[in-house]
Structures are given as C-alpha cells and as structure tokens.
Amino acid sequence: MKKSLLIVSHGSRREQSNIEVNELTKKIIPLTAGQFDIVHCAYLELAEPLIPDGIDLCINQGAESVLVLPYFLAAGRHVAEDIPEIINTARIKHPTKSINIATHLGAAEKMPGLLADIALNNKD
C-alpha cells in the first residue's frame, strides 16, 4: 500500500515563503524514505497547490493513505477548523482512501527541545 505525506502550510503572497516550504518538503523526502512513498506540500490559500489539489495529487500517484501534516505553530482557526473541514470533504470525495491529520508542528513533542537547541546555538 502506497503511503503519502502532505505537508500543509498557510501559503503566502511572498513567493520566497512558498519556495521555502517546497525546499523543506524536498529535504523531508530522504528522511521519510521507507515510510512514505510520496511526499508533497500544499497550501491553505494564496499559493498552489491548494490542500484538496495536493490530496488529489497524492492519490493520483497511487497513494492509498494520505497523512496531512499541518506546518502551523499554533492550533488557531486554520488548524482547529479549516484544515479538518477540508480533510472531511476529501474523505467524502475519496471514500476508499485513508486521509488523516497529524499533530500540527507547534504541538509536536520534540518542539520544546528544538526551540531550546536553536536558542542555545544562537546565544551571544
């Protein structure tokens, strides 16, 4: 069964921000090899592909399951409401596929250690 990872960001009018997410996604591919056959990124708004198109892309490439990973720091409206609503619509569109949402970035267990590491390596 092909598994896919879809990293979801807000999207920005500033193209460089979207490029940054694309580059991050490329760096994640080798780190998740063997766990995910397909890795892409998508956006809530302001950039393409939008989340529904990203899910379709994964499924069109043969994914039986899609794990949506919200690249958001806090559980604001987008994380708590908008993304789950989009995922529920995608589940209706693709009833034979498994489409799930991972913990958003800010709630990840390793986040405090990562922030501490960054701070300790950037002190004056």
DSSP characters for 72-103? Answer: -SS--HIIIIIHHHHHHHHHHHSTTSEEEEPP
- CATH number of the structural domain spanning residue 58: 3.40.50.1400
Q: What are the structure tokens assigned to 81, written together? A: 């409401």
- Tens digits of per-residue pLDDT, 3-52? 999 999 999 999 999 999 999 999 999 999 999 999 999 999 999 999 99
Residue 69 contacts residue 8 (beta carbons within 8 Å):
yes
Structural domain boundaries enclosing 39: 3-120
In terms of C-beta distances under 8 Å and separation of at least 24 residues, what long-range contacts does 80-85 make, across chains too? Answer: 82/44, 83/8, 83/44, 83/51
Question: Is 10 one of the annotated active-site residues of the chain?
Answer: yes
- Tens digits of per-residue pLDDT, 64-78? 999 999 999 999 999
Q: pLDDT band for position 124 (50/70/90)?
A: low
Question: Which residue is catalytic, options 10, 40, 78, 104?
Answer: 10
pLDDT reported for residue 7: 98
Q: How many domains does the chain have?
A: 1
